[in-house]
Structure 1
Amino acid sequence: MAVRCRSLGVTIERVAKRAADLVVVAFVMLGLLMRGESALKMSSRSSEHYHCTSFDYLGFTFRPRATKDKRNNVLFTSYLPAISKKSVSSIHETIKSWNLKCLHNRSLRFVASYINDVVRGWINYYGKFGKTEFWKVMFHLNRSIAYWAKTKYKRLRRRGVISAHYWLAGISQKAPNLFYHWQVGYVPYAHRKK
């Protein structure tokens, strides 16, 4: 659901609150239950010209984001969802709980089969909206796999983690279907110094 606000000033805040109220009414009509005030949290942020609000619901943060109109090729501000900070920290904790460094005696295929089902669920749920924000989460996952490679292989252990990123980027080119997030385009990359 996207809400466009064209006027400036105090009316933007009223329009945003009204839009949030309409979202709540729509959720209640659809039978979705909300868990108290934490499910829908309004916070007012000031910008240069107007006040806008954002709220979290179902793991997404709805807030004003720049959007491009495909027909007229014009940028405008719209309320769009992206993964919330709370969901990002939850995913980071899950990646940390896998403790990939302790799997140094396992193969890369085992690590892929170990995490692919969970990553597939994250991508199917969070990857639909706000892909720029979700890319940061997938970069963190690739970095964790690079740290795993650094603990497994001695030649990578002696160098920095960047060498593990180079190695992982090479593997992603040779076997792009190994990890599910590589299949859908979240491949590791490493910039070479010129």
Structure 2
Amino acid sequence: MRLHPDKTRIVYCKDGKRRGSYEHVSFTFLGYTFRSRKVRSKTGSYFFGFNPAISDEAAKRSRAQIRRWRLHQRSGSSLADLAREINPIVRGWINYYGRFYPSALVPSLKGIDQYLMRWATQKYKRLRRRRSRAWQGLERTAKLYPGLFAHWRILRPRTTG
């Protein structure tokens, strides 16, 4: 077995305790980028640790997939139909990339809500040119049916109390 000269490099795992400088301080492996990130400890204080999160390339691929769905052009479908179609894929992203540092996945998942808002403005005449009302309707739906879309579990966590 030989190491590939372009792909092999020594990476300095820079975090809160290791503050030295080095040429390479991050690396990408299996769709995760390992680098220094802000982390909360068990006691609630924050520190910098060397942790994985979804890589920029993987996030870009997921956003491209969301665009390819063209949810906003499916005004003939219901929300339940859209959810049934995309939930298995989104659930897979959440289970894989959301395992470590799930907040890095949030910007990609918010794109789904953007398309759902556009879907509502296309489907319902009363919401055309009224994006804020479409957002309010989407929020009401998310509160009434929190399990309808898989990504709402991350974007709108349940509050207890």
TM-score normalised by the chain length of structure 2: 0.79
Identify which of 102, 111, 115 aligns with 2:86: 115
1:70 aligns with 2:42: yes
Aligned CA RMSD, in angstroms, stands at: 2.9
Of 72, 95, 111, which residue of structure 2 is paired with 1:124?
95
Q: Which residue of 1 aligns with 2:59?
A: 88
Task: Answer yes or no: is the 8 Å Cα contact 1:68–1:74 preserved in 2.
Answer: yes
1:129 is paired with a residue whose SS is: coil
Distance 1:130 1:35, change over 3 A: farther
Measured after TM superposition, the shift of residue 58 of structure 1 is 0.7
- Separation in 2, partners of 1:122, 1:113: 15
Give me the whole-angstrom Cα distance separating, in 2, the residues matched to 1:119 and 1:107.
Answer: 18
- The answer on whether the counterparts of 1:41 and 1:55 sit within 8 Å (CA) in structure 2 is no
CA shift for structure 1 position 137: 1.5
Structure 1 residue ranges, 4+ long, deviating more than 6 angstroms after superposition: 40-44
Using the TM superposition, give the Cα deviation of residue 119 of structure 1 relative to its aligned residue in structure 2, in angstroms: 0.6
Which 5+ residue runs of structure 2 have no aligned equivalent?
none
Deviation at 1:162, TM superposition (A): 2.8
Q: Greater relative contact order: 1 or 2 (C-alpha under 8 angstroms, separation 6 or more)?
A: 2
- Which of 151, 156, 160 pairs up with 1:181? 151
Q: What is the rounded CA distance, in whole Å, between the counterparts of 2:102 and 2:62 in structure 1?
A: 15
Identical residues among aligned pairs (%): 34
Counterparts of residues 136-155 of structure 1 (less than 5 Å): 136-155=107-126
Gaps (5+ residues) in structure 1? 1-27, 29-33, 189-194
Give the whole-Å Cα distance in 2 for the aligned partners of 1:41 and 1:88: 24
State the Cα deviation string for residues 144-179 of structure 1 (Å, max 9, x = none): 2111111111111121x3322211000011111211
Give secondary structure in 2 for the equivalent of 1:64. Answer: strand
